Amino acid sequence: MRIITTESYDELSMAAASIVAGQIYLKPASVLGLTTGSTPEGMYGKLVAVHKAIGLDFSKVTTFNLDAYLGLGADDPQSYHHFMQKHFFDYVNVKPENIHIPDGLAKDVTGECRAYDAAIRAAGGIDLQLLGIGRNAHIGFNEPDVKFEAATHKVRLDDETIQANARFFEDETAVPRYAISMGIKTIMLARRVVLLASGWEKADAVKRAVLGSVSPATPASILQLHQDATIIADSAAASLLPEKFQHGEHEI
Ligand code: GLP
C-alpha cells in the first residue's frame, strides 16, 4: 500500500486527477470505477479543467460508479446519477452509453446487482477504482460488518452514515436507508485502487485502514491486501498516522 500525504485539499485533488489523467493517457479505453461524495469533487473539477485545456479524451472510457441510493431515480437531485452529471459527465466527453451507475429504482434489486457485476466483467474489469472513505471506514457503501460482502449487493446504511450524509438532504429523515454498492471483491478485483481522504473527521478511519488489522469491521482495511492500492490523504486526514507518514509519499 502506498500513502501520499498532501498539504492541502487542492493538492490532493490534483494528485488524484493526475493519476486518472495518466491512466487515460496510457490506456484511452480505460474502465474507471468512480466515486461520489464531497471528497472527489475537487478531482472531478481538475479533470474537467484538463479536458478543456488539453483535450484529455474520455470518448473511449467506460465508467462504473461504486454505489447508488435505493429509492432515488436518476433525475433526483440527491441521486449519485445527478451528482456525476453535475460534477463531471456534463463537462467531459464520456459517451452516455459507457456510463454505468446502479439503478436506484430497480424493481429486481438482486437482478440489478448481478447484472452490474456481469457488466463490469464484460467490460474487461476495472482498471482504476477511485474510492472515498466513510467516517466509519466504509468504502462504497460497504458498512462495517462481520463479513466482507463480495459482490454488488443491497446494503442497509449505518446510522453514522445516514447522519454524515444528511448534509446533502433536507434533514436526516430524507436520507435513504438502503443502497446498492459494489462489493469488496468487486473493488478488490480492480487492477489499481486509489482512495481519497480529506479532513479531520476521516483521520481515525484512515489510521485504522492503514495500520489496523484487516477486518470487515474496518472495510477499507482490505486495501492492505491489494497489490496496487494508493491512499491520498490531506494533512488533516493523515494526522493520526505516525509522523513519518504525515508528509510526502511512502510505501507501507
Ligand atoms: C458516501 C459514499 C462513499 C463515500 C462517502 C464519503 O457514503 N457512498 O462512497 O466515500 O460518502 O463521502 P465524503 O467524501 O462526502 O465524506
Residue with cell 460508479: 65
Mutational test site, ligand 1, from 34, 36, 64, 67, max ligand atoms within 8 Å of CB = 36
- Alpha carbon of 141 to ligand 1 centroid (Å): 8
According to the model, what pLDDT value does residue 5 have?
A: 98
Nearest CA among 121, 127, 76 for reference residue 103? 76
Ligand 1: which residue has its CA nearest to atom 3?
140
Query: pTM of the entire structure?
Result: 0.97
Closest atom of ligand 1 to CA, residue 157 = 7
- Alpha carbon of 90 to ligand 1 centroid (Å): 21
State the sign of the Cα–Cα–Cα–Cα dihedral 20, 22, 23, 27. positive
The answer to whether the beta carbons of residues 133 and 202 sit under 8 Å apart is yes
Nearest CA among 128, 139, 156 for reference residue 208? 139
Query: What is the DSSP secondary-structure string of 165-200?
Result: HGGGSSSGGGS-SEEEE--HHHHHTSSEEEEEE-SG
Angstrom distances, CA of residue 246 to CA of 6, 163, 233: 8, 29, 9
According to the model, what pLDDT value does residue 62 have?
A: 98
According to the model, what pLDDT value does residue 20 have?
A: 98
- Alpha carbon of 60 to ligand 1 centroid (Å): 27
Where do the domains of the chain lie, and which CATH numbers do they carry?
2-251 (3.40.50.1360)
According to the model, what pLDDT value does residue 119 have?
A: 98
User: Mean pLDDT per segment of 10 residues, for the chain of length 252 residues?
Assistant: 98 98 98 98 98 97 98 96 98 98 98 98 98 97 93 95 94 96 97 98 98 97 98 98 95 92
The answer to whether the beta carbons of residues 5 and 210 sit under 8 Å apart is no
Angstrom distances, CA of residue 233 to CA of 2, 4, 115, 173, 210: 11, 6, 33, 31, 11
According to the model, what pLDDT value does residue 121 have?
A: 98
Mutational test site, ligand 1, from 13, 34, 35, max ligand atoms within 8 Å of CB = 35
